[in-house]
Structure 1
Amino acid sequence: MQYLIPNQTTVYHIAYAPAIEKAYLFHWGCNLKCRGCLCHKEINCMALEENLDVVLRDPRLPKPKDPSQYLDLEELMTTLRKVPVKEALFEGQEASIDPAYGAITEALKAEFDCYITLNTNGVKLPDLSHTDEVVMSLKAVTPKLYRDYTLHSNERVLRHFVEVFRLGKKLRAESVFIPGLIDLEETEKIAAFIAAVDPNIPYRIDAYFESGADNSWRRATPEEMAKAKAAAKKHLVNVTCTQQTAAKLEKKDLMYEVVRLY
């Protein structure tokens, strides 16, 4: 995607948690083609009250429409000035490929002096001068499996993971446990790769939920997630896993209320 307007960003949606004064910036566009991407189901924040049913939505429903509007840098800052901001999380499809990433983080630091976290697939490293923390999705470390799931190579991802650690940035890793694809064996391989860099790097394993009409993977069970966590803990000090076990989420189930700013 190329932009002719100076300081145009790929931010199409901003969510906000008032209790912790945290802004969530959602960016459009990605450099991978993950077959189980949650954007096949929903492109806005899943913690918004209207999206608490996302996990249980039928994956065969039509995909959400692409965003029709994007904020330029001044519009983004004007929106955020309406609230106090202690933290900002860059997410969505892939924030690292936003040409304005460096300008946005610099502006946020200058205006709010907030803590900035980048969620990224790690294919590209943007200017991290004003970024405090990087959360990298490793997806898979086995090259063939990674290519099967994303249609791309993971060579740069693994190299960038090490580079971010050597930069001295706070670094976390995550992956999605997909029964029959990114399973117990691969999850342990991911943990072993992380441990070779530093066994103290936190690792989060997310349970897959059905997304994308063209695949037949099922949701992970609590028993499978417990085994995945135990396998990863053979190598790492700090391992967590996430899974929605409730049949239906409600607003009261959330740790923090999340509202839409844009």
Structure 2
Amino acid sequence: MSLTDIPKKAGSFREMGYKLPVPDNNPAGGIRKSSPGTNIYHISYTPQTKEVSLFFWGCNFSCRGCLSKKGTGNYLLPENIHLFRDNPAETVQPPVHFLSVADVLSILGGLDIQTVLFEGQEPSLDESLPQLAKLIHTEFRTQNILCSNINKLVSLDDIDCIQLSLKAVTDSLHLDYTGKSNRNVLNNLKYLHAAGKKLSIASVLIPGYIDKDEIELIAGFISDINRGLPFNILPYFKAGQNKWRCPTISEMEDSERIAKKYLTHVYAWRGDEEIKYEVMKIY
């Protein structure tokens, strides 16, 4: 979901008269594995665009600037929008409530939906993802979009588009930022493109770290695959205890110009975009 896809004010899903299932309680804060469970802990909904976001907990990267360090809900909710700029000293606690497949389908059944985003931390770690995507496809005829680092590939038969978060193409930099090599990511990107999957790619500009020179390398790598692949450049927002700063608007514009030397569809977010549509917390 983009920054412009958000509402001016939000309402409560419960206030609209919907009854939500009560999930199992997991006091330990880990991922509940009882069948048929999922790693989904949060759901948001944008009525105007008929878009649902399913948030999954758990990741195979340990990104030093991950926004999940300071908030677990959708940052586009009115009560969370301040978290883009704020940087609390304490790391947020993991969620303790997780939904089953039946819970998710029950909630979605009360909504008018056209698009479902599988996002959060890393959805591909959830063993129920392929089954859930198929059930949602079959029941609601939605466009299913997977937001992923694609370090691990699962069955994508019922995924219509993959939005890849590409941290870096310089392996040493990727390893320093995420704790993992990017070898699988880059190979999987080539594989998915060759397989005909619809793809878009996003990278975060971190001045002095993942800077414009790395953005240029990323754009060059993508262009070797397909110059027409969409590429979004996102501004870094402070998260975690590190010394990096947010990029200026001028730096974002410069990075966009650089990437456009290699790619035909590039957009750099400024970081001050106006919220356009209402996003609601439904679980």
Same fold (TM over 0.5): yes
Question: Any idea what the Cα deviations from partners look like across 1:161-218, whole Å, max 9, x if unmatched?
Answer: 01111121110011000001100110000000000000000000000011102x1000
CA distance in 1, matches of 2:68, 2:94: 10
1:32 counterpart = 2:44: no
Match of 2:246 in 1: 219
Match of 1:92 in 2: 120
Task: Map 1:208-247 to 2 at 5 A.
Answer: 208-213=236-241, 215-245=242-272
Given candidates 43, 52, 72, the residue that maps to 2:81 is 52
1:255 counterpart = 2:276: yes
Task: Map 1:94-133 to 2 at 5 A.
Answer: 94-133=122-161
**Structure 1 residues 2-11 or 32-41, which shifts more?**
2-11
Question: Any idea what the Cα deviations from partners look like across 1:60-108, whole Å, max 9, x if unmatched?
Answer: 4212211011000000100111111100001101011111100110010
The AA in structure 1 aligned to 2:157 is S
CA distance in 2, matches of 1:38, 1:186: 21
The AA in structure 2 aligned to 1:122 is I
Task: Map 1:177-192 to 2 at 5 A.
Answer: 177-192=205-220
Task: Map 1:147-186 to 2 at 5 A.
Answer: 147-186=175-214
**Alignment length (residue pairs):** 254
Q: TM-score with structure 1 length normalisation? A: 0.94
The AA in structure 1 aligned to 2:47 is P
Query: Which ranges of 4 or more aligned residues in structure 1 deviate by more than 3 Å?
Result: 1-4
Alignment check: 8 A CA contact 2:46 2:277 kept: yes
CA distance in 2, matches of 1:144, 1:60: 29
**Displacement of 1:224 after TM fit?**
0.6
**Displacement of 1:243 after TM fit?**
2.8
CA distance in 2, matches of 1:165, 1:243: 28
CA distance in 2, matches of 1:106, 1:230: 39
Residue 79 of structure 2: SS of its match in structure 1?
helix
Match of 1:134 in 2: 162
Residue 84 of structure 1: SS of its match in structure 2?
coil
Question: Any idea what the Cα deviations from partners look like across 1:32-80, whole Å, max 9, x if unmatched?
Answer: 00000011111110111101111221x2421221101100000010011
Alignment check: 8 A CA contact 2:56 2:121 kept: yes
Residue 97 of structure 2: SS of its match in structure 1?
coil
1:207 counterpart = 2:228: no
CA distance in 2, matches of 1:125, 1:96: 7
The AA in structure 2 aligned to 1:135 is Q
Given candidates 29, 42, 47, the residue that maps to 1:13 is 42
Q: TM-score with structure 2 length normalisation? A: 0.87
The AA in structure 2 aligned to 1:260 is K
CA distance in 1, matches of 2:281, 2:243: 33
Residue 49 of structure 1: SS of its match in structure 2?
coil
Q: RMSD of the TM alignment (CA)?
A: 1.2
The AA in structure 2 aligned to 1:193 is F
The AA in structure 1 aligned to 2:282 is L
1:196 counterpart = 2:224: yes
Alignment check: 8 A CA contact 2:32 2:98 kept: no
Unaligned 5+ runs, structure 2: 1-29
